[in-house]
Amino acid sequence: MPLPTRISVIGGGLSGLSSAFHLSRRFPSAQVTLVEQSPRLGGWVHSERVQVRDESGNEAGILLERGPRTLRPNSKAVLELIHLLNLAPSLLTVPKTAPAARTRFLHIPGTHGLTALPSSPADFLTSALGRAMARAGALEPLRRYPESVARLAADDGDESLDEFLSARLGPGLARILGSSLANGIYAADSRILSVRAAFPSLWALARTGRGSIVRGMLSDAVRGGRPQAADDYELGSVPDIMENTSVYSFRDGMATLVDAMEKALLGSPNVDIIRNDSVVSITRTAQDGGAVLRTRSGREVPASHLVSAIPLPALHTLLAQSSLPPLPHLTANPAASVTVASLVFPPTAPGQPPLHPAGFGYL
């Protein structure tokens, strides 16, 4: 297969930026062109500092996020970017022992206030939710899962998160925990959300445990943990910094990652960034098997290889207006619109109860 000579990346969000960054490093002799329809890069990531004033006239500068606020340290791809872009000095980490990391809450319909999820052995004895979870967990490995085991064994087997948890924990806990996870993480319905796609670790444990999550965990513990796939990430000392870290961000917000990639791309001689211009059609070139991208402004961008980093429905619409063959299933997966609302609370006065409990948040 010939090496790429002209690579076009459609979309300037995190996926598009990181694709262009890595491709420009891997193929230094290829021309990499990134096309973004908006004036700014970063997609959903957008950090903004605003000035706020309380009722006494005190002012303060607050960093707000219009998109994602934190990251988890389990993505080696992001840790590699932090190392390659020298962002370690900008990190803000939250240790696993901090109240903001250890304490998590649920809002259970029909109950008053927030219910804390168990975070210690004592919690499983002192709270109603903890006792229910402990009882369900003790019975889980004793249950039989004939239908689920059959789905687990099939290459294309799957089930909804609600089905998966109902069979193992009972419908009551499945409704409380499953709907909270599905809504809080994916803005989705647990009765529809694929457990295999959304929670692959649970699926893998159940497969190892012949249907039981607990048996799967015990089996992994006996074998010394689940084998890790070999990788060649350049991580430097970042894993040491992230040890015992629950979540992390950057001193100047999530946009730090975007700004660093943008700066690196602008400094690369083989990268061209086109902003405020969208791709409207893609035409296949017969002579070399490549393609030509046409933008809204009339610009033509030749490409030997294409990378799409735009939402699948947008790619579906683009291909319908192009000479390239359509791709299946681009509109098969539904999506939910999510709004980020940031609430800024003043510091609690000495001797006054806190306005909100210390914790990670609630689902």
Q: What is the mean pLDDT of the chain?
A: 90
Q: Measured between alpha carbons, how far is 301 from 6 in angstroms, rounded to an integer?
A: 9
pLDDT digits (tens, 9 = 90+) for 154-174: 888 899 999 999 999 999 999
Residue spans of alpha helices (H) in 112-212: 123-126, 128-139, 146-153, 161-169, 171-173, 179-186, 195-198, 200-208
Q: How far is CA 242 from CA 99, 103, 260, 266, 361, in A?
A: 18, 20, 20, 29, 21
Domains, in order of start, for the chain = 128-222 (1.10.3110.10)
Strand partners, 269: none
* Contact between 22 and 4 (Cβ < 8 Å): no
Residue type, 10: I
Residues 342-356: what's their mean pLDDT?
A: 84
Q: What's the start-to-end Cα distance of the chain, in Å?
A: 48
Nearest by Cα to 136 from 202, 128, 179 = 128
* Contact between 335 and 310 (Cβ < 8 Å): no
pLDDT for 198 equals 93
pLDDT at 33 exceeding the cut of 80: yes
CB neighbours of 156 closer than 8 A, spacing ≥ 6?
Answer: none
Q: Measured between alpha carbons, how far is 250 from 71 in angstroms, rounded to an integer?
A: 10
Token pair for 111: 């109950």
Pairing of strands 300-303, 115-116: unpaired
pLDDT for 262 equals 98
Q: Measured between alpha carbons, how far is 186 from 175 in angstroms, rounded to an integer?
A: 15
Q: How far is CA 326 from CA 16, 81, 269, in A?
A: 21, 33, 34
* Contact between 165 and 177 (Cβ < 8 Å): yes
pLDDT for 321 equals 85
pLDDT for 225 equals 63
Q: Measured between alpha carbons, how far is 190 from 165 in angstroms, rounded to an integer?
A: 10
Higher pLDDT, 230 or 148: 148
pLDDT digits (tens, 9 = 90+) for 193-247: 999 999 999 999 998 888 888 888 888 888 876 566 557 899 999 999 999 999 9
Sign of the CA dihedral 249, 253, 255, 260? negative
Nearest by Cα to 13 from 48, 37, 47 = 37
Residues 42-58: what's their mean pLDDT?
A: 91
pLDDT for 357 equals 80
Q: Residue 346: pLDDT band by 50, 70, 90 thresholds? A: confident
Q: How far is CA 106 from CA 112, 135, 181, 188, 234, in A?
A: 11, 19, 10, 16, 38
Helices vs strands, H then E, count in the chain: 15, 13
The CB-based long-range contact list for 200-206 (8 Å cut-off, 24+ gap) reads: 202/164, 203/152, 203/164, 206/145, 206/148, 206/152, 206/164, 206/168
Give the phi and the psi of residue 301 in degrees, each rounded to 5.
-120, 110
